[in-house]
Amino acid sequence: MACAAVVAFNANSLAGNLSDSLPLGKSLAAGQELPLPLGISANVFFLEQDMEAQSIAIDIPPLPLPTGPLQLPPGLPAQTAKLESRATSTTAKLDAWVLPFLNVYAVAGYVDGETTASGFAVGGLPPEVSSLLPNSFTLSYSGPVYGGGVTLAAGFDNYFASVDANYTESDLDIGDSTIEAFIITPRIGVTGSLGGLNGSLYVGAMYQDVDEQQNGTVNFPIMGQSVPVGYDVTSEAEEKWNYLVGANFKAGGSWNYGIEAGFSDRTHVLATINYRF
């Protein structure tokens, strides 16, 4: 117990020292109100977007046709008319204002999602075999997500502008599947108070370079049976940009709440709770 108390005291002391010394170069923001330098956030991010398949290959086991078992070669090339991805990530974020205009952070959490392929077809198969395959299927996945990023910000009077850049990687629970995402988000907005609420409103845009590599096994209903079919799908985001609007609200000196919605050909919703010290 005594050892734990000492560790907790030292951690609180270190956090207090960092909070007092950060951000470096405070004189650069003379006349501007700065946020408390350290923050811990809980974030929920939902994303829905169309993907573009670079390659799809499937492995179909021997099919019990009436004329006898049919052995197909592995790695059959396939295509899909539409590939749609939905994912929800829940993350914790630790950030620090190192400079008055520079915030650095790390994130870690969990992602849960699914990818749906519609208009699915395998090339080079006899018609009697192609007619046995479903024209759509869904791949579900989950796994840890981790990464980090930086935010550059500037303000004048009640107006502000920021650019956020981050990289995250997810290790999925199907095969050795991964999702890599590089995101850049510019925002401009205004701060103020309304009806006793203090906070900010902003607009912006989000650029996403998302690469998905998924491989594993999915069950196809073929001739009344559930047949395990291997797949290997490489895809990227079809649309790189979408627009967004958002708001942040302050509750006291330390708590902040945020909500953001993205629209256009890709949609997203971000909800966050942040504690600063």
Would you write out the chain's pLDDT as a tens digit for each of its 277 residues? 554 444 334 445 555 566 678 899 777 766 677 889 999 999 999 999 999 999 999 999 988 777 777 788 999 999 999 999 999 999 999 999 999 999 999 999 999 999 999 999 998 788 878 888 999 999 999 999 999 999 999 988 899 999 999 999 999 998 889 999 999 999 999 999 877 789 999 999 999 999 999 999 999 998 888 989 999 999 999 999 999 999 999 988 899 999 999 999 999 999 999 999 9
| Whole-number pLDDT of residue 14 | 52
Q: Is the pTM of this model over 0.95?
A: no
| Whole-number pLDDT of residue 19 | 64
| Whole-number pLDDT of residue 268 | 98
Structure tokens belonging to residue 162 = 């920021």
Query: Distances from the Cα of 109 to the Cαs of 9, 19, 34, 198, in angstroms?
Result: 27, 25, 28, 29
In the block, residue with structure tokens 């980090």: 148
| Whole-number pLDDT of residue 78 | 94
| Whole-number pLDDT of residue 8 | 39
Which one of 2.40.128, 2.60.120, 2.60.40, 3.30.70 gives the CATH number of domain 36-276? 2.40.128
Q: Quick one: residue 15, left, alpha or beta (phi over 0 = left, psi -120 to 50 = alpha)?
A: alpha
In the block, residue with structure tokens 């009806």: 195
| Whole-number pLDDT of residue 129 | 83
| Measured CA angle at 95 (ends 92, 101), to 5 deg | 145
| Measured CA angle at 45 (ends 43, 48), to 5 deg | 180
Residues shown for the chain: 277
d(CA 145, CA 191): 32
